Amino acid sequence: MELTISRAEILALLPAAILFFTGLMQLFLDLGKSSANTRSEKTHLAMIGVTGILLALASLFIQGVEPSSGALYAGAMTDDLFGRMGAGVIIITALFCSLMAGGYLASSGNNRAEFHSLICFSGGAMVLLCQATNLISIFVAIETLSLAVYVLAGYFKNHQASSEGAFKYFVLGAFSSGFLLLGMAFVYGASGGSISLADIAASATHDDTLFAVGTFLMVIGFGFKVGAVPFHSWVPDVYQGAPVLSVGWMAVAVKSASFFALFRFVLFTGGGQILAQILAAIAVVTMLLGNLAALNQLSLKRMLAYSGIAHTGYLLIPLVLAVSGSGAIAGASIPFYLISYAVTTLAAFGVIVAISVATDRDDVQDLNGLARTRPLLALGFTVALLSLAGVPLTSGFIGKLMIFSDAIEGGFLHLALIGIVASLISIYYYLRPVVAMWFKEPSTSFDLIPASWGVQFTVAVCAIATVALGLFPDWLVNLSKLSVHAILG
Amino acid sequence: MDTNLLWIVLLPFLGFLINGLLGRKLGHKTVSVIACLLPVLSFVVSYAAWSRLVDGANALHWNGFPWIWLEGTLEVPFALHFDGLAAVMCLVITGVGSVIHLYSIGYMKGDPGYHRYFSYLNLFTAFMLLLVLADNLLLMFIGWEGVGLCSYLLIGFWYEDDANCAAGKKAFIVNRIGDLAFLIGMFVCLQHFGSLDISMLTSAEEITRVSAETLTFPWGAASVVTTIAVLLFIGATGKSAQIPLFVWLPDAMAGPTPVSALIHAATMVTSGVYLCCRLMPLFEASPAAMGLIAAVGACTALLAAFIAFTQNDIKKVLAYSTISQLGYMFFAVGMGAFSAALFHLVTHAFFKALLFLGSGSVIHAMHHEQDMRKMGGLRNRLPFTHITFLIGTLAIAGVPPLAGFFSKDEILFAGFQQGFLNAVGSAQLFWLISFLTAGMTAFYMIRCVAMTFWGESHVEESLERNVHEPGGWIGFALFVLAIASALGGFLNVPEFLGGHASLGHFTGLHHSTSDLSVDQLRSLHVSEWQSMLLSVLIAGSGLMLGIHCYGKGRDLRTSFNDSSAGKALGRLSASKFYVDEIYDRIFVRPFETLSHLLFILIDRIIIDGILVNGLALLTRSTGNVFRRIQTGYIPGYLLTFGCGVLVLIFILLNFLREGGAQ
């Protein structure tokens, strides 16, 4: 058999390949220097990381904005707009995480190459996951990124909570991978032995029990990664224990990549009304539980963990629509919402990184009077929280508006109503930090180390992007629609 | 396309932004410079635009940008229009406005809210100019609401005092009632004219087309044009303090005195008159509405003048006088003499601003004492204020050749012409009313002068030693406005006195007399002479009677007390016809009772008790339950996970079997 690799195939692999290579470079260059800890000694790590990530980002644009969507590598992956949007979210998130990593790690005495390179490795795997179009490549990508993220979660190996969180994550993750794999096996069987999504879509019938159960088990596997109820129990513990930056990375990149892959899968295969109903139930429970459990959280990280669960719930609504066959309606909201969620959450985590560097804690009380000591950080955090709550003029509002109006259009009025009620509840806990920052007296022990410029840059850019997307969402909405319609053909 | 027009509005707005945002840090001097310079610049720009009109240019227009744009149904541009009428208004607003800004530097010196005051004042100027320059009703409404807002903010400027806040709220709410009618009027315009552009609403063809249409109400049919005119006029009664919505203006005197001069005498309250002039063809097309306007105007003029007889607060006298003079303007509008209405608007802006600023000078010198019974004899202490105040008084009384003489004479003649030359019965009555009011005006104004400046001093001794003429900007402002009040009448000297009625021609509101024959013109001029002599006579008798009654320091009520009829009349005037009390009984109290009931039932019990607190309790307790489930043990998590999967798969299979069975 003759193996030829086309130009398109090389280009498709380029972003992931650059990321993997960057990670390797960082590891090699840090050999023998792992004991050094200050920021200046490790600047090269961040420099390499940022350069590599920027190159990866640039490589997304090589073919212009209308990449081919044909099957590459014998149907293992594709290089369409949808995949590139996913890759874009992940690479930009990686960029901000790398920018913040140096200062954060140095302050906790753990500034080693592993963290930087694990971001790049898992980032590469996520890019592949967004592009994957057969069961094998999906599984390989998801396992590669999971392994890297397990390590990231337990990166502070001397912290008990960090190690405990990582262990829980690993055990439960292995458990869920089992479901994913079993689901894939069922789907493989039900579709008569095909692994490519296109072939599965062609041969699958929704009435087939084997196929329905298989699809559902696969959804469970992904549902674990994105923290859907009842597969969410790891989220709060891991978020609280793991290093803040790893949490930010997990909250944004892992969730985005999983949703991009899951959505591509259900767009291809569908699933039928029954599966849609069950997913709708999961969405309802996830939205409600996420928001209700967040109400009484005083730890910022835990609060954001539950808020992340709630946002998973909102994101499941377009998924339900896609499963029920209304993917064309729901399409645009997924890429848009994930991009909006990415910039918003990054802004929020930027501030939490600054707080935890300064105080090593993450209570809402630690924010008291932040507006007086560091008004710009407080402003950025406020914008992020308002966007998470879905207040108009922010991207979060547009995202929710799209999801809820799509739900109504697709015939799932009750999902939209519950989503709106859940959003209302969420305003309560999103406003608590805002009140603390702007209306409380600074606590006397509050002594914030000046946030590193990486953090400031991240918060500023992401907050501005949040507002900008809230004011001028048109171009991104259109791009999102274009990407989904390209998949549906 | 003239972008300069935008600057007329933008400059004062800029002042508002700078002083509003940074005023606290800028210091009084910088604040004053910014606040006064920008309206002056706006005046300069207006003047430049005006001189282009004088040179024969057509109306200037700034096309702006599409503002509210629903293709085919509602297309409203943000556009400005500068014609003769707008030019006169702009010059009055920025001219008198600038003088009052300068006056305020002296008057507000040392006030803790100094920058706040000036930022509001600049904002007001900007909104007022927007109102005047707006090319369509909706944009005008923005200005209309904006000046209302500023009026509210400035009436309640000293918000520490509850009474001031209440006055502000009263002004705002009463205005809202009028605004509602304005809004409905706009809706009717939109429905029948299909546009809110003023050029459309005043075009002859459009009005002819629309005047054929009628609207059916429960009480009968009315023509569309009349409906629109009446609705807009009701809006105008709110802003311009006419019956039945005049009650807010006397209370509005709670604000700083320069505010009363600018907003509640010279500019904002005249915007109703401006609205009528702006839409002259529309109003002229509805004789019914014109009759109503004339009636309301004449009655308001009489009522307010009568109440002014017995007021002892110097600002209240001026407030009722303002209401009365606004009534004159509306009377003129109702008589079809739009040019006279605008002329009186301009001269009134001069002399009423002068009177208010003069009273402010007195109040300032008296350390915020406003009761005229505690004044008297201030002529010696405040000679300059006395002279200027006297000029203002003579001007408003209509003594030739001061400003008020020309404008009031023109209005009275308009009534005379309608009533006797055209033999309209109702107009005769209204003319008589306004004729009497002219005498009453002279009377109560001379009473005000006498009680304040003449006779024996009733000032407390400790205070009296400190009373002295405020100099600086206050004196300057009085000087400028005194000149304007003395000479303002020459802007529009009527033709029979050898003038050219230039203001009327310039604004295009004047009805041409060129189609009259020489004989007709001569007989018209003869009646104009007659009317003028009559009005000088009545003004003179009012003044003489006032000097007779108060010159010796007597109070009208004490001399009236001899007769029971006089006593009753005096009491009626002093009680302001119980209008406030009647409104309180009919509208305010039932409304309050109802809203209190709803507050208890719906807000306290249903919303707060059940919905808010109940739901909050429910959500919080559920949240706590969820938090407890999170134990932190892996086996527990695995159990949730596994059970969840099992239950869901069970449901899935169950459904699938049912689906398969069907």
Confidence of residue A68 (pLDDT cuts 50, 70, 90): low
What pLDDT does B273 receive?
95
Residues of B in contact with A207 (CB under 8 A): 656, 659-660
What pLDDT does A65 receive?
45
Place of tokens 């200050």: A38
What pLDDT does B571 receive?
80
> Tell me, what DSSP letter sits at residue A37?
-
Residues of B in contact with A171 (CB under 8 A): 634, 638
Q: Which strand (E) or helix (H) includes residue B65?
A: strand B60-70
Helix axes B472-487, B338-365, angle to 10 degrees: 150
- Encode pLDDT of A18-47 as tens digits: 999 999 998 888 877 666 555 566 778 888
Mutation target to probe the B interface, by most B beta carbons within 10 A, among A274, A303, A426 is: A274
- Encode pLDDT of A202-240 as tens digits: 887 767 888 888 889 999 999 999 999 888 888 888 888
Contact (Cβ atoms closer than 8 angstroms) between residue B53 and residue B84: yes
- Encode pLDDT of B51-78 as tens digits: 988 888 788 888 888 888 877 778 888 9
Give the up-direction half-sphere exposure of residue B219: CA atoms within 13 A in the CB hemisphere. 0
Return the structure tokens found at B450: 């006498």
Mutation target to probe the A interface, by most A beta carbons within 10 A, among B655, B657, B658 is: B655
Residues of A in contact with B653 (CB under 8 A): 209, 213
Percent above pLDDT 70 for chain A: 92
Q: Is the pLDDT of residue A322 over 80?
A: yes
Return the structure tokens found at B232: 């807009």
CB neighbours of residue A2 within 10 Å: 3
Whether residue B622 and residue A292 make contact (CB cut-off 8 A), yes or no, is yes
Return the structure tokens found at B655: 């459904």
Place of tokens 């579709």: A191
Question: CA-to-CA distance for B60 and B319, rounded, in angstroms?
Answer: 36
- Encode pLDDT of A429-439 as tens digits: 899 899 988 88
Contact (Cβ atoms closer than 8 angstroms) between residue A228 and residue A310: no
Give the up-direction half-sphere exposure of residue A409: CA atoms within 13 A in the CB hemisphere. 16
Whether residue A278 and residue B652 make contact (CB cut-off 8 A), yes or no, is yes
ipTM, two decimals:
0.77
Contact (Cβ atoms closer than 8 angstroms) between residue B121 and residue B104: yes
Query: Environment class of residue A441 by beta-carbon count within 10 Å: exposed (0-12), middle (13-18) or buried (19+)?
Result: exposed
A207-to-A201, A270, A346 alpha-carbon distances in Å: 13, 12, 42
Residues of A near B (CB-CB distance < 8 A)? 167-168, 171-172, 175-176, 179, 207, 209, 212-213, 216-217, 220, 224, 229-231, 233-234, 236-237, 274-275, 277-278, 282, 289, 292-297, 425
Compute the C-alpha angle B437/B440/B442, nearest 5°.
115
C-alpha distance from A274 to closest chain B C-alpha (Å): 7
A97-123 average pLDDT score: 86
Query: Which residue in A256, A279, A255 sits closest to A266, CA to CA?
Result: A279
C-alpha distance from B141 to closest chain A C-alpha (Å): 26
Average pLDDT, chain A: 86
CA-only gyration radius of chain A, Å: 21
Of B645, B651, B659, the CB nearest to A220: B645
Percent above pLDDT 70 for chain B: 96
Strand B74-82 to B60-70 pairing: antiparallel
Whether residue B651 and residue A234 make contact (CB cut-off 8 A), yes or no, is no
CB neighbours of residue B390 within 10 Å: 17
Whether residue B649 and residue A172 make contact (CB cut-off 8 A), yes or no, is no
Question: CA-to-CA distance for B147 and B127, rounded, in angstroms?
Answer: 6
Question: CA-to-CA distance for B98 and B44, rounded, in angstroms?
Answer: 11
What pLDDT does B509 receive?
79
C-alpha distance from A49 to closest chain B C-alpha (Å): 35
A205-to-A56, A267, B130, B356 alpha-carbon distances in Å: 39, 14, 67, 87
Whether residue B620 and residue A296 make contact (CB cut-off 8 A), yes or no, is yes
Q: Counting every residue, how long is chain B?
A: 662
Query: Which residue in A327, A175, A307 sits closest to A262, CA to CA?
Result: A327
Return the structure tokens found at A179: 């479901």
CB pairs under 8 A between A and B: 79
Residues of chain B with pLDDT under 50: none
What pLDDT does A97 receive?
92
C-alpha distance from A247 to closest chain B C-alpha (Å): 18
What pLDDT does B661 receive?
53
Of B626, B655, B656, the CB nearest to A292: B626
pTM exceeds 0.90? no
Query: Which residue in A407, A410, A384 sits closest to A396, CA to CA?
Result: A384
Contact (Cβ atoms closer than 8 angstroms) between residue A263 and residue A334: yes
Residues of B near A (CB-CB distance < 8 A)? 619-620, 622-624, 626-627, 630, 632, 634, 636-638, 640-641, 643-645, 648-649, 651-653, 655-656, 659-660
Of A213, A282, A295, the CB nearest to B649: A213
Whether residue A282 and residue B638 make contact (CB cut-off 8 A), yes or no, is no
Residues of B in contact with A179 (CB under 8 A): 645
Query: Which residue in B200, B181, B9, B177 sits closest to B86, CA to CA?
Result: B9
Query: Which residue in A143, A86, A57 sits closest to A342, CA to CA?
Result: A86
Whether residue A282 and residue B648 make contact (CB cut-off 8 A), yes or no, is yes
Q: Which strand (E) or helix (H) includes residue B436?
A: helix B425-453
Confidence of residue A54 (pLDDT cuts 50, 70, 90): very high
Whether residue A277 and residue B640 make contact (CB cut-off 8 A), yes or no, is no
Question: CA-to-CA distance for B170 and B160, rounded, in angstroms?
Answer: 17
Query: Which residue in A381, A382, A358, A333 sits closest to A445, CA to CA?
Result: A358
Residues of A in contact with B641 (CB under 8 A): 172, 175-176, 224, 230-231, 233
Confidence of residue A69 (pLDDT cuts 50, 70, 90): low
Place of tokens 């405040």: B382
Whether residue A295 and residue B619 make contact (CB cut-off 8 A), yes or no, is yes
Whether residue A230 and residue B649 make contact (CB cut-off 8 A), yes or no, is no
Return the structure tokens found at B100: 């009052």
- Cis amide bond preceding B12, omega within 30: no
> Tell me, what DSSP letter sits at residue B418?
I
Whether residue B643 and residue A230 make contact (CB cut-off 8 A), yes or no, is yes
A304-327 average pLDDT score: 89
Strand A71-72 to A77-78 pairing: antiparallel
- Encode pLDDT of A137-171 as tens digits: 999 999 999 999 999 998 888 888 888 889 889 99
Give the up-direction half-sphere exposure of residue A197: CA atoms within 13 A in the CB hemisphere. 28
Return the structure tokens found at B500: 């050219």
Average pLDDT, chain B: 87
Residue type, A425: I
C-alpha distance from A281 to closest chain B C-alpha (Å): 10
Indicate the domain borders of chain B. 575-622, 631-662
- B158-184 core/surface letters (b: 16 or more CB in 10 A; e: else): beeeeebbebbebbbebbebbbebbbb
Indicate the domain borders of chain A. 283-489
- Encode pLDDT of B500-522 as tens digits: 777 888 888 777 666 777 888 88
Question: CA-to-CA distance for A171 and A167, rounded, in angstroms?
Answer: 6
